[in-house]
Structure 1
Amino acid sequence: MAPKRAQRKDIPQTFSVDKYKACKHFGWHEWYVNLEERANRLDVLRLAPADIERIGLPDLLRDVFAAPFTEYEELQDDVHLSYPRRRQVESVTAGDLLLARMLYFDKTCDHPHDRLRQAVLTTENSLQRDGHVESAEYEEAQNILRTPVYEIDEFDVDDLDEGAYAFVDLSGPEEKLVDDFREWLKEVRKARGCVDLGKRFTQADFDDWHRYKILAYIDLTTWARHQEFSITHQLMGVLLFPEEYSIALAERVRKTVAPLAQTLLMGTTIDAIRSQALEAQALKK
Structure 2
Amino acid sequence: MVKINQVDDLPTWYDLEKYGDCESFDGAEWLYQLDRRVDILRMHPDFNEGCNTRDEVERDIVLDVWKESMKEMMESVRQEPMSFQGFNRTDSCFRPSLSVSRVTRRDFKIQACMDEIARRKGEKIPERSDWWRVVRGDKELRPDEDLPANPLFEFDYHMNGHSSIPVLKVDLCATDSVLIASFERWLKEERARRPSHACKREKPSYRDWKRYGLLPYMDLLTWSKENDYQVPHHIMAQAVGYKKGGDSFRKTVPKLASDLIKSLSELEALVALEIDSERFKA
- Is the pair's TM-score, using the shorter chain for normalization, greater than 0.5? yes
Q: Call closer, same or farther: CA 1:164–1:221 in 2, change over 3 Å.
A: same
Alignment of 1:56-135 (within 5 A): 57-62=70-75, 64-72=77-85, 73-76=87-90, 78=92, 84-85=96-97, 87-93=98-104, 95=105, 113-114=128-129
How far, CA to CA, are the matches of 1:24 and 1:118 in structure 2?
52
TM-score (norm 2): 0.67
Alpha-carbon shift at residue 82 of structure 1 (Å)? 10
Checking the alignment, whether the CA contact within 8 Å between 1:197 and 1:269 is kept in structure 2 is no
State, as a whole percentage, how many aligned pairs show the same letter: 21
Aligned to 1:52: 66
Alpha-carbon shift at residue 25 of structure 1 (Å)? 2.0
How far, CA to CA, are the matches of 1:97 and 1:207 in structure 2?
33
Aligned to 1:108: none
Alpha-carbon shift at residue 162 of structure 1 (Å)? 7.2
Aligned to 2:171: 169
Checking the alignment, whether the CA contact within 8 Å between 1:5 and 1:231 is kept in structure 2 is yes
Question: Could you report, residue by residue, the CA deviation over 1:211-248 in whole angstroms, capped at 9, with x for unpaired residues?
Answer: 11111111111211121112111111121228x5xx4x
Question: Could you report, residue by residue, the CA deviation over 1:7-53 in whole angstroms, capped at 9, with x for unpaired residues?
Answer: 33441012122221111122233211001111111122237234324
Alpha-carbon shift at residue 60 of structure 1 (Å)? 3.6
Aligned to 2:208: 208
How far, CA to CA, are the matches of 1:45 and 1:166 in structure 2?
36
Q: Call closer, same or farther: CA 1:77–1:149 in 2, change over 3 Å.
A: farther
Aligned to 1:25: 24
Aligned to 1:221: 221
How far, CA to CA, are the matches of 1:221 and 1:16 in structure 2?
14
* Corresponding residue SS for 1:70: coil
Aligned to 1:147: 151
How far, CA to CA, are the matches of 1:39 and 1:277 in structure 2?
22
Aligned to 2:201: 198
How far, CA to CA, are the matches of 2:195 and 2:153 in structure 1?
11
User: Any unmatched runs of 5+ in structure 1?
Assistant: 104-111, 133-140
The count of aligned residue pairs is 245
Letter in 1 for 2:5: Q
Aligned to 1:250: 246
Alpha-carbon shift at residue 250 of structure 1 (Å)? 0.9
Aligned to 2:36: 37
Alpha-carbon shift at residue 163 of structure 1 (Å)? 4.6
Aligned to 2:124: none
Aligned to 1:267: 264
How far, CA to CA, are the matches of 1:67 and 1:117 in structure 2?
47
TM-score (norm 1): 0.66
Alpha-carbon shift at residue 209 of structure 1 (Å)? 0.9
Aligned to 1:235: 235
Alpha-carbon shift at residue 147 of structure 1 (Å)? 3.0
* Corresponding residue SS for 1:44: coil
Aligned to 1:4: 2
How far, CA to CA, are the matches of 2:278 and 2:219 in structure 1?
27
How far, CA to CA, are the matches of 1:11 and 1:65 in structure 2?
13
Aligned to 2:120: none
How far, CA to CA, are the matches of 1:61 and 1:223 in structure 2?
9
Alpha-carbon shift at residue 68 of structure 1 (Å)? 1.0
Q: Call closer, same or farther: CA 1:36–1:273 in 2, change over 3 Å.
A: farther
How far, CA to CA, are the matches of 1:77 and 1:164 in structure 2?
28
Alpha-carbon shift at residue 210 of structure 1 (Å)? 0.9
* Corresponding residue SS for 1:65: helix
Q: Call closer, same or farther: CA 1:179–1:230 in 2, change over 3 Å.
A: farther
Letter in 2 for 1:70: S
How far, CA to CA, are the matches of 1:43 and 1:116 in structure 2?
32
Alpha-carbon shift at residue 90 of structure 1 (Å)? 2.6
How far, CA to CA, are the matches of 1:54 and 1:284 in structure 2?
45
